[in-house]
Amino acid sequence: MATVVDRAFSDPALAALYDSLCAGRPDFGFYLPLVMATASVLDVGCGTGELLRLARAGGHQGRLCGLDPARSMLEQARVRRDIEWVLGDAASMPWHNAFDLVVMTGHAFQVLVDDDELRAALAAIHRALTDCGQFVFETRNPTARAWEHWTPDEAVEIVDANGWKVRMAHAVDTPLEFDGRTVSFTVTYSSPSWEAPRLSHSTLRFLGVEAVAGLLSEAGFAIDDQFGDWNRAPLTRTSPEIITIASRRKASHR
């Protein structure tokens, strides 16, 4: 059965705006050098594929492959034909021993909500990596409570290719309590050029440091390094991000 993705990724009009709405993001300064230094790279939940497109444009000569279950996002990615773009979800990836680096960026890891889904995705990533391969990803640290800033007064506005204003505003569905597991929210996109606003509902998983370590260990990964922000600051209890560099342990070490 095909993975159901949020409207933010499945609606062609919203997918076309994704890169503009996320412009100026700080994470590519961390990920791009890792990609450039590695011969074969898989980006899981690649979305519009901007990271891999930047890598190819920057002279990456090796294998670059992006996977995503949202056709509309991959349509944006496909402006670059010299990269493999694969429709699919993390858990059902087909590769064995194929990539030296797997990344999940833009908090794509947090779309994996259920434990079973997370375990299946980590197993597939483990299989896809070569023996000394690394898996690098980030998840928002629940103790930093990022969702408290997902309010309409922190809306982002851009101007689209036709000169129309587009506004993106977040509202958390249950603003007062965090259930220790997930946060659900609605993003409202509006533009004077549309008949009605476009609404996207999402649920993201918030795993703490110990839970991340437990799942990785269970899946056969060793944590090489962890950071708390995109400047590689040490991970602390209140860091905004849990950024993890993990390597594939050989089966005999599990």
Ligand X SMILES: C[S@@+](CC[C@H](N)C(=O)[O-])C[C@H]1O[C@@H](n2cnc3c(N)ncnc32)[C@H](O)[C@@H]1O
Of the pair 48, 193, the CB lying nearest ligand X is at: 48
- Rounded Cα distance between 99 and 80, Å, is 20
Would strands 40-44 and 63-68 be described as parallel, antiparallel, or unpaired?
A: parallel
For ligand X, the nearest residue by Cβ is 106
In which region does residue 125 sit, left (phi positive, over 0), alpha (psi from -120 to 50) or beta (all else)? alpha
Residue 206 vs residues 7, 9, 111, 221: alpha-carbon distances, Å:
21, 20, 10, 20
Of the pair 54, 211, the CB lying nearest ligand X is at: 54
The crossing angle, in degrees rounded to 10, of helices 209-218 and 115-128 is 50
Of the pair 65, 70, the CB lying nearest ligand X is at: 70
Of the pair 154, 177, the CB lying nearest ligand X is at: 154
- Rounded Cα distance between 28 and 51, Å, is 7
Given a contact cutoff of 8 angstroms between Cβ atoms, the answer to whether 71 and 87 are in contact is yes
- Rounded Cα distance between 76 and 197, Å, is 22
Of the pair 73, 235, the CB lying nearest ligand X is at: 73
Own/partner contacts of 58-63, CB < 8 Å, gap of 24 or more, are 58/32, 60/35, 60/36, 62/38, 63/39, 63/99
Of the pair 111, 183, the CB lying nearest ligand X is at: 111
Q: What tokens does 45 get?
A: 């939940």
Site residues (CB under 6 A) for ligand X? 3, 5, 9, 44-47, 68-70, 73, 89-90, 105-108, 111
Of the pair 25, 232, the CB lying nearest ligand X is at: 25
Residue 29 beta carbon to ligand X: minimum distance, rounded to whole angstroms = 13
